[in-house]
A and B are shown apart, each in its own frame.
Chain A
Amino acid sequence: MVTMTSAPFEYMRPKTVAEASRLLSKYGGGAKLLAGGHSLVPLMKLRLASPQALIDLSGVGELKGINSSASGLSIGAMTTYHELESSVEVQRAAPLLADAASQVADAQVRNFGTIGGAVSHSDPSADLPAVVLALDAVMKTATQRAGRDIPVERFFKDFLTTALRQNEVLTRIEVPKLPANTGTSYIKQSNKASHYAVVGVAAVITLGADGVCERARVAITGAGPYAVRAKRTERMLVGKKLAPNVIRNAAKRAGAEISGSFNEDVHASAGYREAMTQVFAERAITAAVANAR
């Protein structure tokens, strides 16, 4: 006798984004898109999610592949972590993304988990939301009728909540080419069992010829209900030479945008996450500055 852990569901495997969107509309919120499934399936086994229908995107060719151009990378939503970490194009154009992908979970999970699934799920402890925020990515979506481009800054809305509409499919993640003299880093405190980020910080720092910071992107995951940019910190970096004390002072404000809503769970208290946000922001910014030189 086999114990069925999930609630019953209907299963379908469309071939196109339009068909996937049509199915989402048909079930009116009762269906879930299945990408790699490495967040959704565990939730279904715990019956924290019980969708009426699963729409498996593994057969949709237009969601696959990494394209490199002069303006940057276009990454299909169904690209796996393993494909990201092992892609020469990603390693060259967005080493931050390749490095962060290599830090996700373990080899088996990276074989199946996808970038599109990760960002659409908006798990507060996932690595890639912070990375795509720091890279100023554009999220391309489609429905049966139309597509739109969502700037990543408007994509993550809340705990497990994004700007995606009910019948909308995330199709590609576009990562703009980085300016010259830009250094990047993603550093996290990793949960020992799952390797989810207790706190993770992505930093993208551009230096001018005189060593003055021209542009800064710092994004935090794990600490609050969803990944956010640390704009207060960014403002304290731009226009300055990034001596260690400048970085430290800026990093002290890295939790400003999360203030009052730090996560508290079995892994870490809110106060601990707040403290680690500052520590890991300092480390990530310092490493990014070192790479930029």
Chain B
Amino acid sequence: MPTTITVTVNGTTRTNEVDERLLLVQYLREVQNLTGTHIGCDTSNCGACTVHLNGKAVKSCTVFAVQADGGTVKTVEGLASNGVMHPMQAAFKEKHGLQCGFCTPGMIMTSIELLERNPNPSEAEIRRGIRGNLCRCTGYHNIVEAVKFAAAGTGGKK
């Protein structure tokens, strides 16, 4: 029995009929055609599917799309503005915070929230903050460097 939901994704509000059991990540990828959000483990371990739901980082494989009804979602596609990368995207590029790139959208979404809450994290706080995101290439060194670089770039401000 489909349910009608209205969700604002990256600033655009859309209304769709969805199956109640459609996951938020499936809604983003298959209904909204926003394939920047990846499905990794599909068991809420790896964090590849991390997006911001109502301003908070969430593993979108562990939320049904109907739960986002009336809410706002931000995905990696919504970060750049006017062709200018978000500082966290620029930092991942500058520090080469990726190898295969599969975990990168989730890493970036988690890291943005991390700096919003703690603008000057220590390396230990960064590693702890991204522990819900797994990099199968084990490229954590440069990922942590990227988050540090982004934090320095914001001058400790949000």
Contact = CB atoms under 8 A, between A and B. Distances in A.
Interface of A: 2, 4-11, 13, 34, 37-38, 41-42, 44-45, 54, 56, 58, 82, 105-109, 111-112, 193-195
Q: How large is the interface on B (under 10, 10 to 19, 20 to 34, 35 or more residues)?
A: 20 to 34
A69 to B, nearest CB: 28
Contacts of A11: 3, 20, 64, 66
A79 to B, nearest CB: 14
Given A13-B69, A42-B44, A107-B130, 15 more contacts: A2-B22, A9-B20, A37-B64, A38-B44, A38-B62, A106-B47, A106-B131, A106-B133, A107-B131, A107-B132, A108-B59, A108-B132, A109-B132, A112-B56, A194-B45
A9 B110 CA distance: 30
Contacts of B110: 107-108
10 contacts: A2-B30, A4-B19, A5-B42, A7-B21, A41-B44, A42-B62, A106-B47, A106-B132, A111-B57, A112-B63
Contacts of A44: 21
A107 B62 contact: no
Interface in B52-89: 56-59, 61-64, 66-67, 69
A37 B132 contact: no
Given A2-B26, A37-B67, A107-B113, A8 B47 contact: no
B47 A108 contact: yes
Nearest to B113: A107
Contacts of A82: 56
Contacts, number: 83
A34 B21 CA distance: 13
A56 B67 contact: yes
B21 A112 contact: no
B9 interface: no
B44 A109 contact: yes
9 residue pairs, one from A and one from B, having the closest CB atoms = A106-B132, A6-B21, A111-B56, A11-B20, A11-B66, A108-B57, A108-B132, A108-B59, A41-B62
Contacts of A56: 66-67
A101 B28 CA distance: 30
Contacts of B138: none
Interface of B: 1, 3, 19-23, 26, 30, 42-45, 47, 50, 56-59, 61-64, 66-67, 69, 110, 113-114, 129-133
B145 to A, nearest CB: 19
Nearest to A80: B56
A194 B134 CA distance: 11
A112 B1 contact: no
Contacts of B56: 82, 111-112
A10 B47 CA distance: 27
Nearest to B131: A106
Nearest to A86: B117
Given A107-B113, A108-B59, A8 B132 contact: no
A112 B69 CA distance: 16
A106 B129 CA distance: 7
Contacts of A13: 69
Nearest to B20: A11
A107 B63 contact: no
A105 B150 CA distance: 25
Contacts of A194: 45
Contacts of B30: 2
Contacts of A58: 67
A105 B113 CA distance: 16
Nearest to A1: B30
